[in-house]
Amino acid sequence: MIDQLLYILCGLSAGLLGGYLGLGGGVVMVPFLTVLVGIDIKQAAPVSITAIVVNSFTASNEYLKRGMVDMELVVVLAVFMVLGNITGSLLSAYIPGDYIQVVFAVLLIYTAFSLLKGRPATERMSFKDNRGKYLLICTLIAFVTGTLSALIGIGGGVVLIPILYLVIGLPLATARGTASLMMGFSAAAAATVYFLGDQIDLAIVSGVVLGIIVGAKLGGYLGTMAKPMVVKILFFILLLYLAYRLLYEPLTGLL
């Protein structure tokens, strides 16, 4: 009974923060399940990815209502995210978790400082040009992000949102809405692979999903009214915290 309450609380927290920032919620679920509940990351990742599907579609509905989703980018980049997620799910049994965590942590630290710095003023109005110029590299980033996110168990929004904002030039609110919807499709692909491989603990998923439905709805609604600077600061703190959590075990093992 206590475990189920923890799973519901995990989903509620992930839904609120994930919906507000446009994330899948894995940045909350994975540390919550591994650190507080004591579940191994190999077990937590499939649970998190499955719950992200529910969180994404629930939260992105609020962004869709207000026209804060770029459907063209969703269609293009989601395909590469899906391919990356499937690749990551298939590789999860062969790549040591410590290696994955270190690579992703370094990426998160770089992203955090890039986001806080923002983009040059001269680039802020070049959205259409940036879309054509940088779309190819963004598809590659989407694939790599999808692969890593499936291995770690997070939706990938912590990388996608800064990329859509800094590189493509989307307004921050639209970047969050676009990433939120995109992650639903990509996470569904990874969850299917995990399900077919019998890697999903349904007892844990049921509690997490229950909490996430409520949290994502409220978080998505609040996220549509969020101020960009508040979102940037929260993202910066969240990215550095997640990087710390990912690096802690591998570095401790070396000392």
- At 121 the pLDDT is 44
Rounded to 5°, angle at Cα 222 from 46 and 229: 95
- Nearest residue to 178 via CA among 28, 66, 22, 25: 22
- pLDDT tens digits, 199-219: 888 888 988 989 988 888 888
Domains of the chain, by residue range, sit at 2-254
- At 98 the pLDDT is 74
Residue 124: band (very low, low, confident or very high) from pLDDT cuts 50, 70, 90: very low
How much of the chain exceeds pLDDT 90, in percent?
1
pLDDT at 126 over 70: no
How far, in Å, CA of 105 to CA of 96, rounded?
15
Residue 62: band (very low, low, confident or very high) from pLDDT cuts 50, 70, 90: confident
pLDDT at 135 over 70: yes
* pLDDT greater at residue 125 or residue 162: 162
Burial of 63 (0-12, 13-18, 19+ CB in 10 A): buried
Residue 132: band (very low, low, confident or very high) from pLDDT cuts 50, 70, 90: low
- At 76 the pLDDT is 87
pTM of the model: 0.74
